[in-house]
């Protein structure tokens, strides 16, 4: 009976013999093209030669994308990241997500699995890793680590190195009891927003950094920092009083600073502009046109550029914002997102939440409510409940 062929991506029996002053270990390896080839390694002792050969065979398997239960987790992790990078290049995944996963893999996950094979990464060990990250770092870090480990194990399942994804049987990551509580959502009252505008208008540094107009754009649209940075004059229809949100500023290692299409279908959308914001933008466009010596209608480019006219960096804007906040003792709760919360609160107080959801670009109305800040109780419910006043009927 003929000896069965080696499965593709595997090797046969390792043999070794003395070769001059050293030992040579060898084995047959069946490559992805089906051909069987001899792989060899040399060392001063038989054991070292065989171990060196095993490492060489494992590297050959990894390079070909073939993995087994004995393949190291760090090797599978790098293979998964390479697959993710390819998806980013195709535009199917986000470059910012890749940056996050690469960072968390290197700092949180890889050090905890450095000596393990993928077959040793069972549910109990994964649970221990995740709980350790949760205890020493945060629930958020542990949840990201869980996603990474699940993706790595999923890669191993697809390549038949393991049969099931063990991450699914690890305990869910829970917020630690007694841990740092999430700060309540902070939105501005109307008079507070107007006072901040006044402070910005009278702050020479803020004016030079364009903060007064940017703050008002946030307040008039509720848009994200990256969306405000990415708005162009060509995106604004002044006759219809509509701005087209075309994308979001992102910075990734692979592509640097650029405007992405956004993560959801709601990222690109039209938003109606309130009259006072239209007036502000018209005045701003007129000033830009005067500096360039052209008609206002011919102005193009970024609405809120950097000092050289290029795409403004989100980190630089946040730095300027923090400095303004510190100069006026506003507290660390005051961020660009404060105006987004303010818009969500004002609109949902006056209209059904779906209007605020459409404006903010949320895919679900429930997400909008996480932005609604409450400081003082609204009088609107009390006014509605007046229908239950029965005193007039008794008279």
For residues 255 and 99, what is the distance between their CA atoms, to the nearest angstrom?
11
Q: What percent of the chain has pLDDT above 70?
A: 83
- Report the length, in residues, of the chain: 395
Q: Which tokens in the block code for residue 331?
A: 């507290």
State yes or no: pLDDT of 119 exceeds 70: yes
Low-confidence winner among 69-73, 100-104, 176-180, 364-368 (lowest mean pLDDT): 176-180
What pLDDT does 184 receive? 58
Confidence grade of residue 217 (pLDDT, cut at 50, 70, 90): very high
Write 193-200 long-range contacts (CB < 8 A, 24+). 193/219, 193/339, 193/342, 196/330, 196/334, 199/328, 200/324
- Better-predicted residue by pLDDT, 352 or 72: 72
What pLDDT sits at residue 118? 93
User: What's the pLDDT at 23?
Assistant: 94
| Band of pLDDT at residue 4, cut at 50, 70 and 90 | low
Q: Is 304 helix (H, G, I), strand (E, B) or coil?
A: coil
- Pick from 93-97, 173-177, 241-245: least confident: 173-177
Which residues, other chains included, contact 340 with Cβ-Cβ below 8 Å and sequence gap of 6+?
218, 222, 223, 224, 360, 371
- List the single range of 25-39, 83-97, 328-342, 375-389 with lowest mean pLDDT: 375-389
Q: What is the pLDDT of residue 253?
A: 63
In the numeric block, the tokens 């990415």 are attached to: 230
Q: What is the per-residue pLDDT for 394? A: 47
Overall average pLDDT of the 192-218 stretch: 94
Asked if the model's pLDDT at residue 107 lies above 90, the reply is: yes
pLDDT at 322 over 90: yes
Tell me if residue 267 falls in helix, strand or coil.
Answer: coil
**High-pLDDT (> 90) share of the chain, %:** 46
Put simply, whether the predicted model's pTM sits higher than 0.85 gets the answer no
Residue 209, token pair as written in the block: 């950094």
Out of 8-17, 175-184, 194-203, which region has the weakest mean confidence (pLDDT)?
175-184
- Mean pLDDT for the chain? 84
pLDDT of residue 344: 86
pLDDT (average), residues 227-251: 84
Amino acid 180: pLDDT:
55
Side-chain-facing half-sphere of 233: CA atoms under 13 Å: 20
Residues 304-316 have pLDDT tens digits of 998 888 888 888 8
């Amino acid at each position: 009976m003929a000896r069965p062929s080696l499965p593709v991506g595997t090797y046969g029996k390792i043999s070794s013999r003395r070769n001059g002053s050293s030992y040579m270990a060898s084995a047959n390896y069946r490559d992805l093209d089906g051909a069987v080839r001899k792989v060899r390694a040399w060392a001063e002792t038989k054991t070292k030669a065989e171990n060196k050969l095993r490492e060489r065979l494992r590297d050959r398997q990894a390079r070909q994308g073939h993995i087994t239960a004995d393949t190291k987790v760090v090797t599978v992790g790098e293979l998964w990241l390479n697959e993710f990078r390819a998806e980013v290049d195709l535009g199917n995944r986000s470059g910012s997500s890749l940056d996050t996963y690469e960072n968390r893999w290197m700092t949180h996950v890889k050090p905890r699995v450095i000596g393990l094979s993928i077959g040793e990464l069972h549910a109990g060990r994964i649970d221990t890793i995740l709980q350790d990250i949760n205890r020493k770092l945060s629930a958020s870090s542990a949840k990201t680590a869980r996603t990474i480990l699940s993706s790595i194990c999923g890669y191993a399942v697809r390549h038949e190195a393991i049969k099931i994804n063990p991450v699914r049987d690890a305990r869910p990551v829970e917020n630690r009891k007694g841990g740092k509580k999430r700060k309540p959502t902070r939105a501005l009252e109307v008079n507070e927003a107007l006072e901040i505008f006044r402070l910005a208008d009278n702050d020479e540094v803020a004016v030079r950094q364009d903060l007064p107009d940017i703050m008002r754009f946030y307040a008039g649209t509720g848009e994200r920092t990256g969306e405000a940075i990415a708005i162009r004059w060509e995106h604004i229809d002044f006759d219809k009083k509509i701005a087209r949100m075309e994308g979001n500023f992102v910075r990734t290692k692979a592509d640097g600073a650029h405007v992405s299409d956004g993560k959801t279908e709601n990222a690109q959308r039209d938003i109606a502009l309130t009259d006072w914001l239209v007036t502000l933008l018209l005045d701003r466009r007129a000033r830009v046109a005067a500096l360039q010596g052209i008609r206002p209608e011919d102005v193009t480019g970024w609405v809120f550029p950097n000092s050289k006219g290029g795409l403004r960096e989100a980190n630089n804007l946040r730095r300027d914002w923090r400095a303004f906040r510190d100069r006026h003792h506003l507290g660390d709760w005051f961020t660009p997102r404060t105006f987004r919360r303010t818009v969500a609160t004002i609109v949902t107080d006056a209209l059904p939440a779906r209007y605020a959801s459409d404006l903010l670009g949320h895919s679900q109305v429930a997400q909008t409510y996480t932005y609604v800040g409450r400081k003082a109780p609204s009088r609107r419910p009390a006014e509605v409940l007046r229908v239950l006043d029965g005193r007039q009927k008794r008279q």
